[in-house]
A and B are shown apart, each in its own frame.
Chain A
Amino acid sequence: MALIETKGLTAFYRDFQALFGVDIAVDAGETIAIIGANGAGKTTLMRSISGVLANEPGAILHNNEPIGALPAPDVLARGIAMVPEGRKLFPSLTVEENLLVGGYGRKAQGQWTLESLYALFPVLKERRQSPATALSGGQQQMVAIGRALMSNPSVLLCDEISLGLAPAVVRTIYAAFPRIRASGASIVIVEQDIGQALKVSDRIYCMMEGRITLSGHSSELGHEEIHKAYFGAERHELA
């Protein structure tokens, strides 16, 4: 039985349909990557799972229980935390306060505390009293990840954490992921960089125009296959 499962998930923004029956499954302790071009529906999928967007109850299951219609605080209470796209740090709060607020709704025992997060991202300890938005983009991303970890989630959803960051900074951030995995959490990352996604994940799902176009083990998928699922067949011929 999967830890998180979506079954025929559809999502709408008013009249616009963003997801057309998405089925994914995430097992305990597994890292999966969701790749796809802009507008493929990756962020919509993350927003649906985390409860920011309401769905049919049975379209999303957690431990086989319907959570599709639950609001975000209830989803978090079940141990599903999200690093939102664009980081969304709270500008009125310091770095440390941003981290602390991450543990507001769910006070679960686990390995993540202020101290262990400062050990994971030492630069944050130096900047702990700074306003969160005074940090560099990469440091802000560390705060966003740390903030989500403060609830000691069993599932960590990471939406586009490398967006807008320099490659060296992206590598530093992904270097922390083996230690996050070691905490036992399942991780779902949304990533536009196919190479990075394949490197960090056990399995990937590729999305295009609101549908899953390919899924499989990261080590077994061919480049050609992914390229076709990412851009679509016609465009592949042009490329």
Chain B
Amino acid sequence: MRRPAVVKPMEDVYPGAAPAAIARARAESLVLEYQVKLTRYLRRMVGDAEVALDLSQDVFLSAFRMLQADPRRELTAGWLYRAATNAAISFLRRKKVLRMLPLDRDVDRGAWRVDERSAASVDLQGALAQLPPQQSAALLLTSYVGYSSAEAAELLGTTSDAIRQRVCRAMRVLRTVMSEES
């Protein structure tokens, strides 16, 4: 299976620049590099474009604050994905407890454009809506984002066998959804 590449930790190469300028430049390149990937991941997690945009903005804002406090701090793609996963999981939990919104994660079909309403996309989103957030995260971080099970395990603070097991369970649900459609 072809996986998309995940990007290495970023390095600072702005010798002699003021710390504040480094922080801004790094924050800017973070946003440029990851806003699309990260927000797409979040939309898959929460099933809603508006919420994904909100959460993604929160993640970049806290990344920016961190860089502001320490411009040379190492900030990796992994940090962003971990923050995004936590944000999505706590959003889903909050939504469930407060019952402000419908309990199940509906697929907001309206906001998914026609060209991405492929059978694969709808099936995947249908399965994700039924899965516990931890299983959704395991499936997406590996096969959708491109991390190996060991890397995903490190992000989520668990073992790679646990990630593989979650992927397997997520796959079972996806398989059921696929067979219902056909």
State whether these chains interact: no
Q: Which residues from chain A sit less than 8 Å from chain B, CB to CB?
A: none
